[in-house]
Chains A and B, each alone.
Chain A
Amino acid sequence: MSSTATSFEKPAERSTNWWMIWGIALALVLICYLIKDTIPWAFKYPRSWTIPLRFWISDFMKWLMDGLDFGLFTFRELTRAIAWVIEQPYWVAKSLLASGFLNGRGSAAIEIFPRLPWVAVIGIVMLIGWKAGGRKLALLAGGCFLYLAVFGQWDSAMTTLSSIVISVPFGVMGGLLLGIAAFRSPRFNAALTPILDLMQTVPVFAYLVPILILFGFGPVSAMIATIIYAMPPMVRITILGLQQVPEEITEFGRMVGSSPRQLLWKVQLPAAKQTLMLGVNQVVMLSLNMVIIASMIGAGGLGFDVLNALRRLKIGEGIEAGVAITLLAIALDRLSQALAKKPAPTSEAFQGTHRNNPLKAYPYLSAAIALIIVTWALGAFFPAIQIYPESWEITTGTFWGDMVKWININFFDQLDAFKNFLLLNVMIPFKRFLLGLPWIGVVILIAIAGAQLGGWRLAVLGALLAIFIAIVGLWPKAMITVYLCGLSVVIACMIGIPIGIAAARNERLHGIVQVVIDTLQTLPSFVYLMPVVMLFRVGDFAAMLAVIVYALTPIIRYTDHGIRNVPQHLIEAATATGCTKRQMLWKVQMPLALPEIMLGLNQTIMMALSMLVITALVGTRDLGQEVYIALTKADIGRGLVAGMAIAFIAIIADRLIGAWSKRRKLELGLE
C-alpha cells in the first residue's frame, strides 16, 4: 500500500516558511476555541448539513435488486447465476471433505457416498508436504491436521477448508486475468489501480453488507466475499511478475514468431511463475482470514465456532477453535510457500523417460489416489478409518476455561488496576481531546500537512476526504476510530521499534523475531480477539490490545530491515571516524532507516484500522461498530458509507506518510 505517484509532486519550495503557516493554522484553531459559542457548527457538524448518502445507496441497491432488468435477464437473476457457478464446485468440495454426498435435505438426508476418510486427508496433506518441501514439511502439515482430528475440530475445519479450496482457484484465476489485462493495457491499469487501492483499505465488514444483500446469507456469499477480498494482491503480483520478466525473454518469444497469446501463455507467464506463486500463497492466506470473518454471513466452520464462543463467552471452546485456525493457517502457509519457493525443475526430478508410465511420472498423485481408494474401502468395514471416533477425541475446553478462571481469580485486581490506570490517565483524556477538536480545524491541518509533504494535490485530496467524513455525519465516530487507532499505533511503535532495533543488531534475536512475526502474520485476525477478551472482557481497552498485537508485525519488520539496509559503505565510513556503537545507531543508522521505518508505521496504521473493524465484535463505539451494526441489520448504505469513511482515514494516513517517506528518501539519496 505505497503512496502512488499521483500524490507526490514536486515538494514545496524550501523558501516557503512552513513554521509560520503552521503557527497561523494553530492560532486559527485556538481562536475557534475562544469563539466556540458563536461558531458551534465548526465543532459539531450540523445535522441539517449532512448528506443522506447512506439512504441514497440503500435506495440504489433496492433498485438494482428489484428494478434493474437487462432485458434478457434481471439483475437478481444475474446474481443468482453467479452464485450458482460458485455453489456447484463448493457443493462437491464440501461433500467430499465435510458432509459426504447426501441425497435430500436436512436431517432426512441419506448419505449416498461417504466423505474422504480423515486418514486419507491427512495422508494427502502429508504427500503434498513431502513433494513440496520434504519430510519435515510432511510431518508439520500432517501434525497440524492430526490436531484437528484429535481435538474434535475436524468437521468445522473441513467445512472451512472446502470454502478455501474452492475460493482460492477463483481468486487466483480472477486475479491472474485482471492482472494480465492490466499488464497489456495501460489504460485498464490506470483505471484498476485506484480500485485496488480502495479495496485494500475498505474494511472487510463493509464488503460483507452488499454481498449479503446481493447473494443472501450462506456459504456462497461468504465465498464471494472471500474471493473479492483475496483477489487484489494476486492482481498486483501478476502485474509485477509480468513486468519483471526479463526484456530479453519477451524479445525471444517475439523473435520465434509467437502470436500474442502464445507469448503470454507460453513465454511470459511461465517465466513469471516464481512470482505468481507468491501471489497464490497470499491468496490462500487472505482467503483463510476472510473465510473465518465471513462466518458472520454464513460461512460456518471454524470461524463460526469462534464467533459463537465469543458471543457466549465460552472461552475454552473459543481457544480450541482458535488454535485449530492457527494450525490450519500454519499448515496452509507452509505448504503454499514451499510450493512457491520450489526452485526451477532439475533434471533429476524431470522424468522425461517415464512419459508413458503415469505411475512413475506422477508418483505422488498415484500414491494419493491409491490412499483414497484403500481408505474408502477399508472405511466401509472399519468406521474408525472413515470417521475419527468421538471416544478418541480429547477436549481441552474445560482446561482452558479453568485456566482463565484461575487467572481472573488470582490476578483480577492487578489486571483491572492496569486497565483502569490506562483508561483513566491516557485513553479517556485523549479521546475527549480528539472529540473536542473543531472538524474544520482538523481539515485545515490535514490540508497544510498535505501541501507541505506532497504538494497542493495531496492537500486537496486530504481535505476532501476529511470533509466527506464530516458531510456524511460520521465525524464523532471517525474521531473515536482515530483515537483507538492512534493510541494503538503509538503503543505498537513503542514496543515494536525497540524490538526491531535489537533484532537488527543481534543475529540470534533476529532469527527468533522472524519466526514469531511470520507466525503472527499468518493468523487470521479473529484469533487475536480470544486472549484479550479472556483477560479483559469487552470494551475499548480489550479492543486496543488486540489491535496492538495484530498491528505490531510491520513496524518490527521494517525497523529491522531498515537498519540492516543502511548502505555498508556509510557504516564503514562512520566506523572509520570513530563512532561508538550508540552514536552509530542514533546518528547514522536511525536517521537513514527512518524512511523505511515510516513505511512500517504506515503498514501498522493500515493493519490497525482493519483490525479495529473486527474489534467492533468486542464492543467499541467507532466506525467499526457502525459497519458491524449495518451488517447485523443488513443496511447496505450505512455499512458502505462507514466503510468508506474508514478507507478515507486510511488513505489520508497512507498518502501523508508515503509522501513524507518518499521525500526523505530522495533527500538522503537512498532512491
Chain B
Amino acid sequence: MSAPPKSTKRPVKLGCKSVWKIFGDNPSEFLNQTQNPSDEQLAASGMIGAVRDANLDILEGEIFVIMGLSGSGKSTLVRCMTRLIEPTAGEILFEGQDLLKADEKELIEYRRHKMGMVFQHFALLPHLSVLGNVAFPLEIQGISLAEREKRALEVIELVGLKGRENYFPSELSGGQQQRVGIARSLCVEPEIWFLDEPFSALDPLIRREMQDEFLRLQSMLKKTIVFITHDFDEAIRLADRIAIMKDGKIIQIGAPEELVLNPADDYVAEFTGNIPRAKVLSVRAVMANATAKEFGGKVSADTKIETLAAKIIGSKKPFSVHDGSDIVGQISANKVFSVLAGQE
C-alpha cells in the first residue's frame, strides 16, 4: 500500500455531486418539495433515504474505501455510481462526463470496457466452469472463443487458480470462488473497479489472505478502486482514503491517519478509538523538527510507526525523516514508544 504523495494531485476518475437515492413512492417529487429532508421528514412520509447528498471524488489509481455499518447505504451508493440503481438526484461524473445522461447503449459500452465489479456473494454463474465464468464478460462482448479463453486463462493464473479452469463454482471454497469473481471482473481490464464487500462472506483467516492478495494485485495493476466494507480494520489496511457513511450520509472523507487524528464526530471516533494508532499513524504525523546533529538512521515520512518500531528499538539517537531526498524532521525511539503505548 503506497499512499499517494501529498504533493502530486491526481486527476479525478469518478465524482459524485449531491447524489441522492430515496426509496419510496414517487421519490423525486418528494425530493423536489422538501429540499434536503431531515430524518423526521423522511420517516413521516414513509421514505427511506438510502443515499443522502453524497459528494466525493475518486482519484485515479487510488483505493477508495466506503465504510459504514450494514444498512448505511454503501451498496446503494456504489450502485448509483454504476447506475445499477438510478439515483433520485445528483450527478455521477465519469472522467468529467455525466453518466446519468448516457443512453442505454453508451452505458453498456461503459460497463463492458471501463467498469468491473465484484460482489459480496460472488454471483458466479452455476452452470459455467471457472473458465466459462471468467471468460463470460468477453463472451458478452462477442469476442471469439479462442481469444477469450486465452485471456481468461491469463487472469486465472494471475489470481492463483491455475489448474482449476474446469472446476465448477460448487466445487470451490468461498475464497476460491471470490478469486474467480475477481478474475472475472479483471478480465476486461476495467479502468475502475468496484468491490462491494468482497471479503465479508469469508472466514477471518481467509479474509486476511484475500486482502493481501488484493494488495498484491493492486501493486501490479494500479487500478482505480472503490472498495466497500463494514469492517474498519479492513478499511484501514487497504485504503488510501476512506469515506465513512451513516444513515445514507457521508460523515467524513480522509486518509486513515486523518480519521484517526481528527475524527469528525463521536461516531467516527467510535471506530477509530479501537484501532492501534501505531498501525495508522505515519512518521510524518508525529515527527519533531529536525534539530539533532547526528541521526541513528533514516526513515521515510510515510512509514507507519508500527513498521519503524522494530528498527528504532535500541537506537539512542533519533532517526531523520525524509520526504524524497529532503530531510523534513526527526523522530526518537521514545516518541515511537509513546505512540505504541497509546499515549499519543
Contact = CB atoms under 8 A, between A and B. Distances in A.
Interface of A: 246, 248-249, 251-252, 254-259, 262, 266-267, 270-271, 273, 343-347, 350, 352
Contacts of A273: 127
B168 A257 contact: no
Interface string B101-120: 00000001111110111011
Q: What interface size band does chain B fall in?
A: 35 or more
B173 to A, nearest CB: 14
A350 B168 contact: yes
Contacts of A246: 121, 123
A246 B201 CA distance: 15
B82 A255 contact: yes
Nearest to A269: B127
A345 B79 CA distance: 32
A252 B79 CA distance: 11
B64 interface: no
B40 to A, nearest CB: 27
Contacts of B117: 251-252, 255
A256 to B, nearest CB: 4
Given A252-B119, A273-B127, A258 B170 contact: no
B141 interface: yes
A254 B104 CA distance: 11
B168 A256 contact: no
Nearest to A252: B123
Contacts of B108: 257-259
B140 A251 contact: no
Contact of B111 (A257, A267, A343, A350): A257
Interface in B79-135: 79, 82, 84, 108-113, 115-117, 119-123, 125-129, 131
Given A271-B125, A273-B127, A266 B170 contact: no
A248 B120 contact: yes
A343 B127 CA distance: 10
A254 B170 contact: no
Nearest to A355: B145
B137 interface: yes
B140 A262 contact: yes
A347 B126 contact: no
**Which 10 residue pairs across A and B have the least CB separation, nearest first?**
A257-B112, A257-B111, A256-B137, A248-B123, A252-B123, A257-B108, A255-B117, A248-B119, A344-B126, A347-B166
A271 B136 CA distance: 14
Given A255-B111, A257-B112, A346 B123 contact: no
B259 interface: no
Contacts of A346: 167-168, 170-171
A256 B121 contact: no
Nearest to A259: B108
Contacts of A352: 129, 131, 165-166
Contacts of B79: 251
B169 interface: yes
Given A257-B112, A345-B129, 4 more contacts: A254-B84, A258-B108, A266-B140, A347-B129
A344 B170 contact: yes
A271 B121 contact: no
Contacts of B188: 256
Given A246-B121, A350-B166, A270 B127 contact: yes
